[in-house]
A and B are shown apart, each in its own frame.
Chain A
Amino acid sequence: MSVQKVGCSRGQQKKVNRKLAKFQHVIKKEAGVNSSPIPTNNLAICNAGLVNGLTEESIFEYFSEFGPLSDILLLPGKSCSFLAYEDVKCAVAAYNALNGKLDIAQYNRPIYLLYVDQLPRLSETTIWDKLPPGLIIINDFISTAEEESLLKLCSFRDQLCGIMKNRLVEHFGFEFRYDINNVDKDKPLSCNVPCETNFLWARLQQTHPEFGQFQPDQLTVNCYSPGQGIPHHVDTHSAFESPIMCLSLASTIVMEFKNEGLHICSLLPRRSLLIMSGESRYNWTHGIVPRKFDVIRNKSAVGFTCLKRETRISFTFRKVLHGDCKCSFKAKCDQMKQNNINGNVAAQLEALHVHEVYENIADHFSDTRHKPWPNVLEFVQSFTYGDILVDVGCGNGKYLGHNKYIFDIGCDRSTGLVDICRGKKVETFITDCLSIPINDQYVDGVISIAVIHHLATEERRLKAIKEMVRILRIGGKGLIYVWAHEQIKNQKKSSYIMQCRKNRKETTLKHLDSSEGRQEVPLPGGIELPVHANRSNFKASDVLVPWKLKDDNKTFLRFYHVFGEHELEKMCQQINNIEIIRSYYDQGNWCISFRRVE
């Protein structure tokens, strides 16, 4: 990376101008902003952005040389980015010095700059002015003298000092074993948590009596050099109690906290104490991005400052948990009673919470299912004269009868839904998708839209896919849609989420948080499943989703296994007589199209 300070030849200038003429249209299309023929405070970097690896830090690093920046904007999924100076003169200086010269675009190519009228509007992606529930940061918790004496406690010479991929680690009380993500509770170390740290808890009791009982028996000391970090994680629930305390020594750093679609950044100042309790301890991941600078959003909410990292030593104090974790955040709990859904329980669960429910809601369900999804329709339309297409789990038949050249036939488990199909004069039969009563290699196409997520074990879901493959001719094509765990993708909310009016506004802590209730519903085999709050993001993968009948006030619970990213793909890869044509995300669903091969 070098900035050529020499002037451009006329030929080079012409080339730059040609590029810029093209980029005017690119930024208009990508970000909806107009370039300005006269200098403004705002610059667009037309050919580098998040998708090609540009970071806030490097923008800050190169552009703050020319004067104070008031904004840096990187757009998710875009290859352009924006910045603003407080003073237009600085923008002009940067423009003249860097345009077509600074090699920080992909493959060390030069970046191209344009003045723009204004920065694109973007809903906030990282939150700087809130903390996760249960998280407390106490600034200046210790003095510099105390900091110095605490630093003397860690030697990094001891045999227990291990070198983690990204940092130095030392343990007291119990060794935290990164291989099992837990402590060996029966094997305490010979070195206890140093008594020189006891004053911390006495002090804490004065300001935060609710943590007065905290008496840690495990201490992990981490040493982070500039450029090092720690991946996002939740401290293993079954290993430690709540709260967890972390003292930052020697340097300030930015820690990130994530839960569902929310992304909070917070400064951990040198000599501050971080307390993670309750939800922040159990349900939010925390991590430190490996980098040498932290770009910090100013308190005034406009502008950035950049903080050069120094070596940071953190003291993480924890209390080893004896007994079971009793948190209420089952989705992230390693001790969540493992739902041992065997085939028999699965069949009962599906009978009660899938089949019976659909019989009860068939009419209302059908009233809400009329608009076919365009990508499914396109697949149906891809078949030609005399092709035979089976819709496995056809519901009210909304994908049948669209292609007049083919013979299409639907089947479903629900008598009520099949009767509705019959009313539409489409051919159907009643079956379970685990045993499709069709001859091997008889049909040219199979679709199964939003069906196999109702099966309660992976074994059954795989069986259903294998049944579809079995009836396909060699060369025949299949399409499967299943509900995705991820209902917010690339910053976009799915239409399922958007159907709730309040979710259309910005992502806020209130609406997408803690929405999965732990309602107790008696289920077959004594298993426990959370009841999902409609129009919200999923937390668990096996959930009960309520269906409210519009007339009477009855609510039915449908079982769903919501699929994680790549889960459907991995299942299909286990089947050796298909090849995957396309694996994609569509409207809150994971989707696979495939071809039957020999």
Chain B
Amino acid sequence: MKLLTHNMLTSKCIRGVSVGYPLIINATEVKVNQTLFNSEFVSKLIPKVDWPVLYNAAESIGHSEDLPKEAPNDFEQNEEFLKKAHRALVEIEVISGNLVCPESGRKFPISNGIPNMLLNEDEF
């Protein structure tokens, strides 16, 4: 699970949960896979992403490194920043562990890099 994926995931489908976001990450294995950097790709992504959630996610699994807490205003021209963002968004991967609903505590296992978000029929 890349942190961009984490950035969009929510547990609000659970009955009784109102926001369910962001999910807490309990990681037991994290990997960094280098991928091709493209500044236009990253800069178009930045406005779509909840940056504080991304930052906290990276920090919670010990990979915040020198990622800024806030995205700079000039992010489109700031290649140094875009590279850091690229790394956080699509290179860091949680291979195993759990995602935890912040309201209900419901756990969603991550194994082989795949979060299992399945709910039982009676949960939603």
Contact = CB atoms under 8 A, between A and B. Distances in A.
A302 B11 CA distance: 70
Contacts of B124: 434-435
A447 B65 CA distance: 36
Interface stretch (B56-64, B66-74, B111-119): B111-119
A436 interface: yes
A99 to B, nearest CB: 61
Nearest to B101: A437
Interface stretch (A144-152, A236-244, A421-429, A564-572): A421-429
A444 B8 CA distance: 12
Interface residues of A, number: 32
Given A385-B40, A386-B45, A439-B10, A413 B118 contact: yes
Interface string B18-46: 00010000000000000000101111110
A489 B5 CA distance: 41
Contact of B21 (A386, A432, A439): A439
A254 to B, nearest CB: 55
A98 B43 CA distance: 68
Given A388-B8, A407-B4, A435-B124, A429 B115 contact: yes
A431 interface: yes
B40 A386 contact: yes
Given A429-B5, A429-B114, A385 B10 contact: no
Contacts of B48: 386, 388, 442, 444
Given A386-B41, A388-B48, A405-B41, A430 B10 contact: no
Contacts of A429: 1, 5, 9, 114-117
A418 interface: yes
A387 B82 CA distance: 16
Given A439-B21, A443-B8, A419 B45 contact: no
Contacts of B100: none
A386 B43 contact: yes
Contact of B5 (A405, A427, A436): A427
B40 A435 contact: no
B73 to A, nearest CB: 18
A407 B1 contact: no
Nearest to A428: B114
Interface size range on B against A: 20 to 34
A158 to B, nearest CB: 60
Contact of A387 (B2, B44, B115): B44
Contacts of A411: 117
A385 B42 CA distance: 8
A454 to B, nearest CB: 15
Contact of A437 (B90, B114, B117): B117
B114 A418 contact: yes
A442 B8 contact: yes
B78 to A, nearest CB: 16
B80 interface: no
Contact of A438 (B10, B41, B43, B121): B10
Interface in B70-99: 90
B118 A431 contact: yes
Contact of A430 (B12, B38, B114): B114
Interface of A: 344, 347, 384-388, 405-407, 409, 411, 413, 415, 418-419, 422, 427-432, 434-439, 442-444
The 10 A-B residue pairs with the shortest CB-CB distance in the complex, in nearest-first order: A386-B44, A435-B13, A437-B117, A386-B45, A430-B116, A431-B117, A429-B115, A385-B40, A435-B124, A385-B44
Given A387-B44, A429-B116, 15 more contacts: A386-B40, A386-B41, A388-B48, A407-B45, A415-B116, A418-B114, A419-B114, A430-B115, A430-B118, A431-B117, A431-B118, A434-B124, A439-B8, A442-B48, A443-B8
